[in-house]
Structure 1
């Protein structure tokens, strides 16, 4: 019986670490595309230079294409990194490309922003 308590303790710790790892994942894949926590489709912008650490979609552009905001305490993980925007906020990036949603997508699963002006694209991991 003495081994029982340490086993439960170890299992509990492992569960907490696993839950923490999943809690930090900024996005998820649904139907082959990346979506945010609300299920909204996520896009990249061809004018952003990969791995530049910067977004070029600001002001009016960011109103139509809201950035996928990273919390102040968020940490990069795997293919996800964080870029700092001109206004000082943090934005998630996938494989170096800053990520956005589209204001005209009104419900989860909408993909109306795909191929807009041939520079906006859904993200397919």
Structure 2
């Protein structure tokens, strides 16, 4: 579902003199930041700069984003074309899950030299060539299936660009990753790590603590629209996977087969069989995998909760 345009606070910081080690081609070995001279260490009050970034539920595919722009634009495309849209979705990245990937399925990283919620990126110059920051501009559409809106933020970079953050950490790609599933940047220099949807280090599923889906929030508003995905982790571009967006009504709605993940803007009741029969559950937040809810074959019908 399309969210209203949301303004974000662009934190502007003036900082003291620090020498940082180079992070150009050597970033693949050291992971250090490029040299940067920081200004006097006075924190200026953040200005509430109105942005025209559009936050949209669902994926790039389900929102019918132009496949020749945004994250999937050719390498030779202009920055304006590349910033038409940005997608950040939950996925399995090289065995790490949940991890965050972009609209091409490339792995997203964080840098330990960046202060958490510090409002600054310490990867600039040559470092940013090796670790391209994920940036937005006015008019960018930002798709974020599986990531809580409150976990997404922004910082101003040295060059004036606006960089996306997850959990207060500026996020990057790695220029040596070539295809979905590559995690060649993981643990580079013991400073670069694959990020999870909360802004923490992504780990292998066996290492992750077992979690149960959160119970529905008391008084949650009924869903008006839901996007269902045939693949888990909001996957609608691998193999034969696809997504379908539905308007949720007070009467039962059937789906064409089993859908194994979903994004929702409110409370929806899901069922394991057509006709709102079989096992049921009420969800009020995005679900990356319906199996832990007791839906191994996916959701087959739904109704407004």
Band of TM-score, shorter chain: 0.7 to 0.9
CA RMSD of aligned residues (A): 2.4
What is the number of residues matched between the two proteins?
110
Counterpart check, 1:27 vs 2:27: no
- The answer (yes or no) to whether the contact 1:81–1:95 under 8 Å persists in 2 is yes
| Distance (Å, rounded) in 2 between the aligned partners of 1:91 and 1:26 | 13
The match for 2:129 is 63
Pairwise CA distance, 1:26? 4.1
- 152, 158, 170: which is aligned to 1:86? 158
SS at match of 2:107: coil
Matches within 5 A, 1:1-125: 20-22=56-58, 26-31=87-92, 32-73=98-139, 77-125=149-197
- The answer (yes or no) to whether the contact 1:41–1:101 under 8 Å persists in 2 is yes
Unaligned runs of 5+ residues in structure 2 are 5-54, 64-84, 93-97, 143-148, 198-305
In terms of fraction of residues, the more strand-rich structure is 2
The match for 2:23 is none
Distance 1:17 1:104, change over 3 A: closer
- The answer (yes or no) to whether the contact 1:85–1:91 under 8 Å persists in 2 is yes
In terms of fraction of residues, the more helix-rich structure is 1
The match for 1:9 is none
TM-score (norm 2): 0.33
Unaligned runs of 5+ residues in structure 1 are 1-14
| Distance (Å, rounded) in 2 between the aligned partners of 1:116 and 1:107 | 18
Pairwise CA distance, 1:16? 5.4
Instruction: Describe the superposition over 1:4-48 as per-residue Cα deviations: whole angstroms up to 9, x where unpaired.
Output: xxxxxxxxxxx6559943368841011121011111100000000
Distance 1:78 1:63, change over 3 A: same
Greater CA radius of gyration, 1 or 2? Answer: 2
TM-score (norm 1): 0.78
| Distance (Å, rounded) in 2 between the aligned partners of 1:119 and 1:20 | 31
Instruction: Describe the superposition over 1:85-118 as per-residue Cα deviations: whole angstroms up to 9, x where unpaired.
Output: 1000111100100000000001122100000000
